[in-house]
Structure 1
Amino acid sequence: MIDIQKTAIKHVLVISPRKFEDHRGFFRETWNQSALKDAGINLEFCQDNQSISFERNTIRGLHFQTPPYQQAKLVRCGQGAFLDVAVDIRRGSPSYGAWVSVELSAENGKQMLIPEGFAHGFRTLMPNTEILYKCTAAYAPECDRAIRFDDPDIGIEWGISRDLAILSEKDAMAARLSECGSPFTWDRSQ
């Protein structure tokens, strides 16, 4: 059994798989294509990624890939905890530039489903945090893009100032959403 919760932005979902626990440990089914298809989620993932951030307050993102390698992602935590963020970058969308965040942890087992047309980023809340995510398209460096995590036009509440954030050079140099020219357009029929 899987609990699926809507967020403030349509199509960004929080998925909470059931946890079976006893004296030995626990079991959790983190992906079941058939069960999620029955719930209206019909995605084909082709790549699984793993990321470990050694330090608390590491921020990765906001990242997205342009067509033809745009990605939907299903993100979860293997170890530790992080604040996961999705930003709507679909031009014309009623929620363009809006964001949602969810704390994902090894303990709570929650996952965030981020559709195509969204930028994704996260801030680690604990040292040695492991992020695991499935993607619907393979990594394509020529399509890889980034938006400033602290873009004032978006206004994400990361709970940390820029001077305390641990960033890659790429993320530190990222452009604002207004400068990046999003290739995504909102489809009114969705």
Structure 2
Amino acid sequence: MIFRETALKGAYVIELEPFSDERGQFARSWCREEFARQGLPTELAQGNVSINTTRGTIRGMHYQLEPHEEIKLMRCVHGAIYDVIVDVRPGSPTFHQWIGVELTPTAFRMLYVPAGFAHGFQTLADDTEVNYLVSAPYMPNAARGVRYNDPRLAIDWPLPVSRISKQDASWPLLEMADA
């Protein structure tokens, strides 16, 4: 795996290194030792699957309050997503900045989302499946979010929104969100 730190300190795009032969391809998507060599936490609590039927669907922007913050390792295994993270760590030099990364199965890359980041994605294709590993169990009382269309963030979503949950559409604006 090749770890490339993004403009947001602690967030990485991780390129898988596929091995190809007559059968197809093989690549590791998780290796405790490689993550440890990068100084990244290696404790995982759960694996999640998100299946989205309609192109343009938005899920997010979610995070959890301390001490239940989550680290996520995102990978699209079918379809395509535009994966977005926002730094919500008070005192961070990139506080309230965001990046977006396109993830597809054939791109052989993942997004490492550090604790203290709001996270969401938009599907770029129908029938998109996302698999991700999480460092902490979901705690409903610690769950928070920020509005996907907050004008202060001005996230440049690639498509018009086709579907979004009532909860995700009604998260507070960034200035009113819990940190």
Both structures adopt the same fold (TM-score exceeding 0.5): yes
Match of residue 133 from structure 1? 132
Deviations 1:10-60 (A, max 9, x none): 111000111122332221110000122122223311111000110100000
1:124-178 Cα deviation digits (max 9, x unpaired): 01111111111110011111112110111111111234xx341011111111111
CA contact (8 A) 1:81 1:129 kept: yes
- Number of aligned pairs? 179
Output the CA distance in 2 between the equivalents of 1:65 and 1:152. 22
Shift of 1:92: 2.0
Indicate conservation of the 8 Å contact 1:81/1:103, yes or no.
yes
Which secondary structure state, in structure 2, belongs to the residue aligned with residue 29 of structure 1? coil
Equivalent runs, 1:142-181 vs 2, <5 Å: 142-161=141-160, 164-181=161-178
* One-letter identity of the residue aligned with 1:79: H
Structure 1 portions without partners, runs of 5+: 183-190
* Mapped partners of 2:91, 2:40: distance in 1: 23
CA contact (8 A) 2:13 2:111 kept: yes
Contact map agreement 2:82 2:122 (CA 8 A) in 1: yes
> Which letter maps to 1:169?
K
User: Which residues of 2 match residues 4-15 of structure 1 at below 5 A?
Assistant: 4-15=3-14
Structure 2 counterpart of 1:97:
96
Cα offsets for 1:57-90 (capped at 9, x unmatched): 0000000011221101111111111011110001
Q: TM-score, normalised by structure 2?
A: 0.95
CA contact (8 A) 2:78 2:105 kept: yes
- 1:1-190 aligned at under 5 Å gives the runs 2-161=1-160, 164-182=161-179
Gaps of 5+ in 2: none
TM-score (norm 1): 0.90
| Secondary structure of the structure 1 residue equivalent to 2:62 | strand
Distance, in Å, in 1 between the alignment partners of 2:7 and 2:96 is: 13
SS state at 1:9 partner: coil
